[in-house]
Structure 1
């Protein structure tokens, strides 16, 4: 199995085109995943993220299915063993063998046993289904289906804080796009906790210029502590003085896509009534997305501040994720925005996380401009859903080239192509394996 070091040796030998060295790239990606494996789950990276993260594990399982279906199943089982009684899947499952001081906020802060109390986007049904399809195991599918159904029911019944049939996130971290400019407005009402009251472990592993500011981090801590002190009770969240509740187009697009996948799973399990119910849920979410978050003049999906009832007009990559929905009625208009100057699809490298034309675009700062591999993978899937094969091929090539040149970096500059953040990042490696295992 090739490591990143072997990959570097191969690159130094003069091989620079990943299309001619796909087996080398696959082996190096497998080496990353082996190095980040804890025995029952995979850490995103050994330094900055030393525990199991929810949507990371879903993306990791999508890659592992090509290398070890058994490990992919275990990755997902381990995550769902930490599912709460109310159905939520926590965004972090803490590894008790990892020193408490290795990550903040840790289990002592969350006071929820060995998990956090917030969630991340629902990409898990897709991971379960694709792992099953790669190596059919009916017992696995039967065991996972009710867990997935409970997770989706939690989102549907507890998180419609805006009353529009859309999920509200209660913390920026729940979007998976932690430091997105889309959260600046809603976050401005949150009083930051004094940074002297906590220790930022993230700055020990990354350039401070690329990370959230102390004020932003203080707001993150305030929100997490407030949600914790309410006992993670969603029904009382909007009365919290510093509440944050946003209907995120990316989260909700992934939820609609997941309901379509749940219909496939239910059909496979011989549950036609359940399958019809999932298809109906997907249709309702899609309709709510278009009627609530679509701005026809801008040709884009914007988040909605559920507390103010107002759209947040920031062009971030989350607004491109509804392309995952094959039945999206505004796909043509959204594709025009994706290929226009704001995102430069087909010109920029990967999928920029923020508007290239914005005055505050930053090619290196966390979720404020860089391209992320998982977003590129999702948009690639969306392009295929709408028959945009030329753009899909170009994006696949960009993603593989970035993985090759930047040692599976956490994120990359969409203009210059330089890698940033952690190297040997698990979802970058896993989704590289997935792209290499299929053709566009």
Structure 2
């Protein structure tokens, strides 16, 4: 069938590691009764490896939570896209094992949660209620909203992340205090999304673009399973249309809409370029021009930076405030292929593979020099570099 997502068709013959189904199974097995797929499923033997851990969330005491320890927060909804790619890696094996039959209902419930519980203003977009949910927690997009959040959590903060990277490359003490205070408030309201005075609710263009592309993935799954694909295509179209209210013409990117303050944040970040993954995106040409422009690749960057390098507060070594991330560049490769920008996509793919291998698979890199930062031997960097080496023919 014709989905309109070239990335799906182009990768249909690429083999995927069998770890993919196992990881999805683990996440979906910890789904909450309201449909949310949690940010983290904790291994209690390693609870001290991540902060906050299970002892902070106490999730199993909350109504509707699963019988296993999880965070109460979520992550960007790329799960259905990932599940479709797993299926396409070996459709015959997937069919024999009933993979789509098992995951499809859970993924539908997950998207139903976003529509029912996170569309705070009825505009068709889902809001994140904590920077951690965006996956880009230290992005400049959240600065103004976070400034109104107290930095006085009751919980004693630990920083295991600093065992893997210098403090100068990570969010500061005050930022972490606000993160914890905000998480405490959400936890103490039962993670129920019913706190009308919750001070942080942001419609992130990256989060919503991934929701839309995952709805299209559900449409393809529905067709494979003999079910109605129209509701998924309709929702994807509604999300794509709703994103237009977040577009910033003078910056050439999509911004994040602050639901609490009723304004779109006027900052150019990689989050605002990720909607390129959507077919038929009205602003695709403008996003490509911005990506090629002086704030991003046109400024001499090897990979697409996380933030406009001309911004006065850009920092090419500081977490989400300028470095280039391998996962974001992987998505932009997919989006550029979607909009027939193959040479540019191939150029980025070569840099992803080359820099990942050369520097021991770092978490992120300086976009101008390629200098590695953050954790080394980072699993998603390795996985995405391997993927591009196979599917793009960019093996070093």
Q: Match of 2:332?
A: 379
SS in 2 for 1:437: helix
Q: Match of 1:197?
A: 156
Q: Match of 2:15?
A: 66
Q: CA deviation at 1:346?
A: 8.8
> 1:343/1:319 Cα in 2 relative to 1: closer, same or farther (>3 Å)?
same
Q: Match of 1:88?
A: 36
SS in 2 for 1:377: helix
Q: How does 1:29-428 map to 2 (within 5 A)?
A: 66=15, 68-69=17-18, 71-98=19-46, 100-113=47-60, 114-136=69-91, 137-138=94-95, 139-193=98-152, 197-236=156-195, 238-240=196-198, 243-271=199-227, 273=228, 275-290=229-244, 292-344=245-297, 347-428=300-381
- TM, length-normalised to structure 2: 0.90
Q: Match of 2:382?
A: 429
CA deviation vs aligned residue, 1:19-70 (integer Å, no higher than 9, x gap): xxxxxxxxxxxxxxxxxxxxxxxxxxxxxxxxxxxxxxxxxxx9xx83543x
Q: CA deviation at 1:181?
A: 0.8
CA deviation vs aligned residue, 1:316-362 (integer Å, no higher than 9, x gap): 10000110011101111111111111112694111100111011111
RMSD (CA atoms): 1.6
> 1:328/1:166 Cα in 2 relative to 1: closer, same or farther (>3 Å)?
same
Counterpart Cα distance in 2 of 1:331 and 1:287: 13
Task: Please tell me whether the aligned partners of residues 346 and 395 of structure 1 are also in contact (alpha carbons under 8 angstroms).
Answer: no
Counterpart Cα distance in 2 of 1:318 and 1:408: 22
Counterpart Cα distance in 2 of 1:248 and 1:370: 19
- Structure 1 stretch displaced more, 347-356 or 145-154: 347-356
CA deviation vs aligned residue, 1:391-435 (integer Å, no higher than 9, x gap): 011101110111111101000000111111111111111111111
Counterpart Cα distance in 2 of 1:200 and 1:304: 30
Task: Please tell me whether the aligned partners of residues 257 and 265 of structure 2 are also in contact (alpha carbons under 8 angstroms).
Answer: yes
Counterpart Cα distance in 1 of 2:22 and 2:298: 36
Counterpart Cα distance in 1 of 2:27 and 2:108: 15
Counterpart Cα distance in 2 of 1:402 and 1:81: 35
Q: Match of 2:4?
A: none
Task: Please tell me whether the aligned partners of residues 162 and 307 of structure 1 are also in contact (alpha carbons under 8 angstroms).
Answer: no
Task: Please tell me whether the aligned partners of residues 138 and 321 of structure 2 are also in contact (alpha carbons under 8 angstroms).
Answer: yes
Deviant stretches of 4+, over 4 Å = none
Q: CA deviation at 1:288?
A: 0.2
Task: Please tell me whether the aligned partners of residues 152 and 181 of structure 2 are also in contact (alpha carbons under 8 angstroms).
Answer: yes
Task: Please tell me whether the aligned partners of residues 345 and 351 of structure 1 are also in contact (alpha carbons under 8 angstroms).
Answer: no
CA deviation vs aligned residue, 1:174-205 (integer Å, no higher than 9, x gap): 00001001110110100112698322222222
Task: Please tell me whether the aligned partners of residues 303 and 329 of structure 2 are also in contact (alpha carbons under 8 angstroms).
Answer: yes
Task: Please tell me whether the aligned partners of residues 362 and 372 of structure 2 are also in contact (alpha carbons under 8 angstroms).
Answer: yes
> 1:348/1:252 Cα in 2 relative to 1: closer, same or farther (>3 Å)?
same
Query: Between Structure 1 and Structure 2, how many residues are aligned?
Result: 369
Task: Please tell me whether the aligned partners of residues 293 and 301 of structure 1 are also in contact (alpha carbons under 8 angstroms).
Answer: yes
Gapped regions of structure 1 (runs ≥ 5): 1-61
Q: Determine which structure has greater relative contact order: mean sequence separation of CA pairs < 8 Å that are 6+ residues apart, divided by chain length.
A: 1
- TM, length-normalised to structure 1: 0.81
Q: How does 1:15-34 map to 2 (within 5 A)?
A: none
Counterpart Cα distance in 2 of 1:307 and 1:340: 32
Counterpart Cα distance in 2 of 1:209 and 1:148: 38
Q: CA deviation at 1:163?
A: 2.4
